[in-house]
Structure 1
Amino acid sequence: MALLPMGTAIFRRYVLICAIGQGGVSTVYSAVDARRGRKLAIKVLAPSLAHDRRARDDVRREALITDRLRHPSVPRVFEYGEAPLPDGTVVPYVVFELLAGVPLTERLAGGRLDWPEAVRIAATAADVLAVAHRRGVVHRDLTARNVMVSAGAIKIIDFGLATAALRAGEPSAPPIVVRGDNRRPPSHPKTAFARPSDDVYTLGVLLYEMLTGRSPYPSAIAATIVAAGRVAHLAPTPVLTIPGLPPQLRDLVRACMAKRPDDRPRSVDVALALWRILDGVRLPEPSVN
C-alpha cells in the first residue's frame, strides 16, 4: 500500500510526520495539529480504495464505535470525516490521540509477565469490554497486538473488526447500520454473528498468554480464536500450573475459556473478579522495553 508523502497536510491542519501502523485498507500516521501545536495520530484510507464503499464504511464504522465507548482505556477520537488529499482524492480519516508505550506483543516477546501485572492488564481490558458490551459493541479482535502498554496507561485499540452485539431473539446476522442511523452500533458486514461471550473467550486466551508466555493452542489454529462463531468449537484451556498463582485466577481463566458460550462469565463479572484478586496486592511498576 503506497504511503502518503510525509509533510502532507490534511485540511491544511494535520501535517503527517511518519507512518506508525498499516492495515489492509488504511495507514495510521503520527501527525502534528498545526492549529493547536500538539501531536496526534490520524488514520487515512488508502487513496487506491477511495471509491470502495465497503472500505470507506470500515473506517467510518471504527470511528463511530471507538467514539461511542468514551472510556479512558480506549483511544480518544478527536475528529473524523472525509478529507481531500493534495491530488483531489477524497478519503475518510480519523484523528486519534497519539499513544505512548509498546504493543503487548513486544512485552510477551521477552517471556511471561508476573501474574499481578498480567491481571492488571486483563482487568483493564475487561473493564473496556464491559463498557463496550453494555453499549452493544463486541470488539472481536482482543489480542496482544491490540493492547498498548506504557508506564502510565493501558489502552485497548483497533476496533476495526468490532460490530453490533447479537441481541436475544435476533437473527444470527444483525442489520448493517452504517449510514444515517446511529441509534445502535454499526454492524460489520463480514460478521455472521457476534456475542459478548466471544470477547470473554479471547480475554481468557490473552490472560493465559500473559501468565504463561505462550498460546494455549498450536500456532496453526491460534488465529481462529478471534473469528466470530468459531471460538465455541475449541477445547477449554489446559490447567495452569504456575507456582504461586491464586487458585481463583486459575478458575477464572478456565471459566472465560469454557467451550459453551453460555458457561462463560459476563465481562463485567470478570472485571470485578480480577480487581478483587488484585485487592491488597502491591503491583510492580509496569516495565516498557
Structure 2
Amino acid sequence: MSDDWPPAGTLMASRYRLVSRLETGGMAQIWHADDELLDRPVALKLPSGLDPARADVLHLAWKEARMAARLSHPNIAAVHDYNAAMRPEGFMAPFVVMELLAGESLAARLDRSPLSWQESAGIGIAVADALTAAHANGVVHRDIKPGNVMLTPTGVKILDFGISAATGEPDDDETGVTFGTPAYVAPERLDGKPAEPATDVYGLGVLLYEMVTGDPPYPVDTWEELDAARTAPPRSLPAELPVAFRELVELCLREEPDRRPTAAHVSRELAALTPPAAPPAPRKKRRVALFSGLAALVVSLIALFAALGSSRQSIDAAPSTAPSAAPSAAPSGVTPRSAPASTRPAAPPTARATPTPTPTAAAPLRVDDAIDRVRATVRTGRESGQIRPDVAQDLLNLLQPLGRAEAADVSVRVEELQRKVQERTDEGSVDEARADLLSARLADLSRAAERATG
C-alpha cells in the first residue's frame, strides 16, 4: 500500500476534493475537503494502514457511518455521506464524510493545563447529553476520550464512532482493533462483555477525572501497564473539589457496570452543581433607561433656567431705595436707572410652562437580544423548577447555534424549538405557564429574524 496516497488535490468519488490532511492516526487519516457538489467544506475520514484483505476491518468505515447517521444532536458531529475511492493498488478504499469542525480537541486543550471543575462540569454536561441521545438510539460509542471531544465556537461535540456498537452487540473482536485506548477502556470490555451504555459512562468518568487533574485515573499506554495499574485504585480527586462532584466521578468509575449512573443522571447532577449565571440585562432596557435619564436631565435644566429667569425679573421690578436727587454713580457706558414712579410691588412673574418631553419609541428587538431573552427564560424556569434540568440544558444547547445562524435560518430553528417545547410540556417536563412564556419569547425571536431579513 502507498503511504503517500492520496495526495492533496485528489478528487474522491468524483465529488470531494482533498485540501489538506488534518490528522493521521493508527487507523485513519482525516482530511479537510471541499464538497464540490454542494459547495461546502467537509471533513473526510479515510482508513489508513489497513490490509485490503481484511474486509472486516474495512467494514468499520461503513459501520461507523451507519451508527453516527442514526444520531441527530447538537453535541454530536454530523455524518453527511459514506463512499469509496479507487486506490492505486486497484482496490476500493471506503471513507466517511462528516461536518468540518472549527476549534480544538479537548486533548489539545488539556495539554496546556487542567480545567476548573466548573468548566469540566459544563463540558461533561454536553458529553453526557450526547451520550444520552446515542443510548436512546441504541448506540454505544465505546471510545470516549479527550481526543474525541471537540471544543468548537458553537459548543462541545463528540466525534469518531469508529468502534461504536449497537447496544447488546457481542464484543468478540480478537484482534484488538476495536478496543480503543488502554487508559480509557472500561473494565468490562477486557472481559468481552456485550456493548452497553455503562461503558460510555465509565469513559465520561475518566474524562471528568482527567479534566480536573490533567491525567486519567490510570495514565498508561499499553495493555500490560493497564493490568499492572489496576491492582490498586486510582488516586483520590483533590479535596478542594466539591464533594458532590467527586462522588459523581467515583460513581462513574465503579468497576461494576450496573452500579454506574446513566448518562442522563450524570447530566442532571452536573447541572445541579453549576447554577447558571444571572442573565445580562437586555440591551433594549439599558437603552430605554439611558433615554429616560437624558429626558430627566433636560427637564431639570429647563426648570433651572425658568427659576433663574424668575429671579431676574424680581430683581428688575424691585423699588429703588436711592434718593432721586442723588443718583448713584454708574460704571462707564451704563445709564443710571431712574427711580420708579410708584412703590407698588411688582407683579409676580408669569409661570413658564415646563415642556413635556416627547416619549422615545423603543427600538425594535434585535435577534441577539431576543435570543438572550429566550435563554434567560429557560434558565429562570430551571431555577424555579418549572423546567426539568436536563430538558433546560437540551433547550440551551439548541439555542447555541442561533447566535451564528443566518437570520433566514432562525425562523426554521425557532419552529423546531417550539415543537420541542410542546413535546416537553405534553410529557410534563415543562410547566404550562413557563411553556406559554417560552412560546411568546420564541415568537418575538421569529419576528426579530423576519425584520432582519426584510
With normalisation by structure 1, the TM-score equals 0.79
Once the two structures are superposed, what CA deviation does each residue of 1:52-82 show, in whole Å capped at 9, x if it has no partner? 3112211001111111122221111111133
- The answer on whether the counterparts of 1:127 and 1:268 sit within 8 Å (CA) in structure 2 is yes
2:254 is the counterpart of 1:258 = yes
Q: Which residue of structure 2 lines up, in the alignment, with residue 128 of structure 1? A: 130
Distance 2:42 2:125 in 1: 27
One-letter amino acid of the structure 2 residue matched with residue 153 of structure 1: G
What's the CA shift string for 1:132-174, capped at 9, x where partnerless? 122222111111111111232211111111112228xxx7769
| C-alpha separation in 2, matches of 1:34 and 1:195 | 39
Structure 2 vs 1, CA of residues 210 and 148 (structure 1 numbering), >3 Å: closer, same or farther?
A: same
Amino acid at match of 2:5: L
Which SS does the other structure have where 1:81 is aligned? strand
Could you tell me whether the CA contact under 8 Å between 2:50 and 2:58 is conserved in 1?
no
Q: Distance in 1 between matches of 2:158 and 2:231?
A: 25
Partner of residue 110, structure 2:
108
Q: Secondary structure, in 3 states, of the residue corresponding to 2:33?
A: strand
How far apart, in 1, do the equivalents of 2:103 and 2:222 lie? 29
2:45 to 9, 30, 43: 43
Which residue identity lines up with residue 118 of structure 1 in the other structure?
S
Change beyond 3 A, Cα 1:220–1:42: closer
Q: Is the 8 A contact 2:50 2:57 kept in 1?
A: no
Stretch of structure 1 that moved more, 50-59 or 66-75? 50-59
Change (3 A) 1:97 1:265: same
Give the structure 1 partner of residue 5 of structure 2. 3
Alpha-carbon offset, residue 88 of structure 1: 5.5
> Which ranges of 4 or more aligned residues in structure 1 deviate by more than 6 Å?
221-225
2:269 aligned with 1:273, yes or no?
A: yes
* 1:142 equivalent in alignment to 2:121: no
What number of residue pairs does the alignment pair up? 259
Answer yes or no: is the 8 Å Cα contact 2:44–2:98 preserved in 1. yes
- Provide the rounded CA distance (Å) in 2 between the counterparts of 1:59 and 1:255: 33
Other structure's SS at 2:70 match: helix
Greater gyration radius: 2
Closer, same or farther: CA 236–199 of 1 in aligned 2, 3 Å: farther
1:96 aligns with 2:92: no
Q: Distance in 1 between matches of 2:171 and 2:57?
A: 23
Structure 1: how far apart are the matches of 2:223 and 2:48? 29
The structure with the largest helix share of the pair is 2
- Residue type at the aligned position of 1:280: P
CA distance in 1, matches of 2:224, 2:143: 10
Instruction: Summarize the Cα distance change of 1:222–1:272 in structure 2 as closer, same or farther, 3 Å threshold.
Output: farther
Q: Which moved more, 1:47-56 or 1:16-25?
A: 47-56
* 262 and 45 in structure 1: CA distance in 2 versus 1, 3 angstrom threshold: closer
Report the counterpart of residue 185 of structure 1 in structure 2: none
Query: Between Structure 1 and Structure 2, which shows a larger proportion of strand residues?
Result: 1
1:102-251 correspondence runs (5 A): 102-166=104-168, 192-219=193-220, 237-243=234-240, 245-251=241-247
Are the aligned partners of 1:237 and 1:257 in contact in 2 as well (CA < 8 Å)?
no
2: CA distance, partners of 1:282 / 1:88: 61
Indicate the residue corresponding to 2:82 in structure 1: 80
Distance 1:36 1:122, change over 3 A: same
Once residues 26 and 114 of structure 1 are traced to their aligned partners in structure 2, the CA distance between those partners, rounded to angstroms, is 32
| 1:188 counterpart residue number | none
Deviation at 1:98, TM superposition (A): 0.5
**Distance in 1 separating the partners of 2:80 and 2:126:** 22
User: How has the CA–CA distance of structure 1 residues 87 and 158 changed in structure 2, closer, same or farther, with 3 Å as cutoff?
Assistant: same
User: Structure 2 vs 1, CA of residues 56 and 236 (structure 1 numbering), >3 Å: closer, same or farther?
Assistant: same
Name the structure 2 match of 1:184. Answer: none
- Residue matched to 1:18: 20
The change in CA–CA distance for 1:37 and 1:118 in structure 2 (over 3 A counts) is same
> Deviation per CA, 1:72-117, whole angstroms, max 9, x where unpaired?
2111111113334577642212111111111111111111101111
- CA distance in structure 1 between the aligned counterparts of 2:81 and 2:254, rounded to whole angstroms: 39
- With over 3 angstroms needed to count, the CA separation of the structure-2 counterparts of 1:78 and 1:172, relative to structure 1, is closer
Q: Which consecutive unaligned segments of at least 5 residues does structure 2 have?
A: 174-191, 280-454
CA distance in 2, matches of 1:84, 1:196: 37
Match of 2:270, as an amino acid? Answer: L
Kept in 1: contact 2:171–2:194 (CA 8 A):
yes
Q: 1:222 to 1:153 in 2, by over 3 A?
A: farther
Give the CA deviation at 1:255.
0.9
TM superposition shift of 1:222: 8.4
Distance 2:225 2:128 in 1: 21
Q: What do you get for the CA RMSD once the two structures are aligned?
A: 3.0
